[in-house]
């Protein structure tokens, strides 16, 4: 979890945000397949524009969780990332979107998997 102050000098710190900011009813899990150290880009998310316009939080499922058991070193060191251009794209186009994160389900926690 993070707040805007992490990235924006005068942004709000996490303790200044109301608890409701972290509660989401409209959440989506989007499949965005990515490999080792591969970035999630604006172009990856554009096909989901209509969905992103309706949600307050988006999880991005890359399929990278397979490396947790297949190759733990790759899992720990070469994970996918969200490209910096995605932040501007999302903030410019989806004011309702409060957060986005990469979904890394694990076998002892996941209710479902995107693989």
Q: Looking at residue 76, what is its pLDDT?
A: 92
- Which residues, including other chains, have CB under 8 Å from residue 93's CB and lie 6 or more apart? 49, 52, 53
Asked whether the whole model's pTM tops 0.85, one would answer no
Residue 83 lies in a domain: yes
**Buried (b) or exposed (e) across 6-24, using 16+ Cβ within 10 A?**
eeeeeeeeeeeeeeeeeee
Residue 21 lies in a domain: no
Residue 16 lies in a domain: no
Q: Looking at residue 108, what is its pLDDT?
A: 53
A 10 A CB-CB count for 85 gives 12
Listed in order, strand segments (DSSP E) in 5-107 are 27-31, 39-40, 57-61, 81-82, 99-103
Q: Looking at residue 1, what is its pLDDT?
A: 61
Domain that holds residue 98: 26-103
Residue 82 lies in a domain: yes
Domains: count for the chain: 1
Residue 113 lies in a domain: no
* pLDDT beyond 80 at 109: no
Report the alpha-carbon distance of residue 26 to residue 43 in Å, rounded: 23
Residues of the chain with pLDDT > 70: what percent? 84
**Maximum C-alpha span of the chain:** 42
Residue 45 lies in a domain: yes
Q: If you compute the radius of gyration of the chain from its CA atoms, what whole number of angstroms results?
A: 15
* Residues in the chain, overall count: 115
Residue 4 lies in a domain: no
Residue 70 lies in a domain: yes
Q: Could you read off the pLDDT of 28-62 as tens digits, one per residue?
A: 999 999 999 999 999 999 999 999 999 999 999 99
């Amino acid at each position: 979890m993070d707040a805007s102050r992490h990235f924006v000098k005068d942004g709000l710190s996490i303790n200044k945000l109301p608890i409701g900011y972290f509660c989401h009813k409209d959440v989506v899990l989007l499949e965005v397949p990515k490999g080792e150290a591969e970035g999630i880009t604006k172009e990856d998310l554009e096909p989901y524009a209509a969905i992103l316009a309706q949600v307050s939080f988006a999880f991005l499922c890359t399929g990278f969780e397979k490396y947790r058991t297949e190759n733990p070193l790759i899992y720990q060191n070469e994970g996918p990332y969200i490209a910096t251009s995605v932040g501007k794209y999302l903030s410019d186009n989806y004011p309702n979107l409060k957060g986005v994160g990469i979904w890394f389900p694990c076998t002892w926690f996941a209710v479902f998997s995107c693989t």
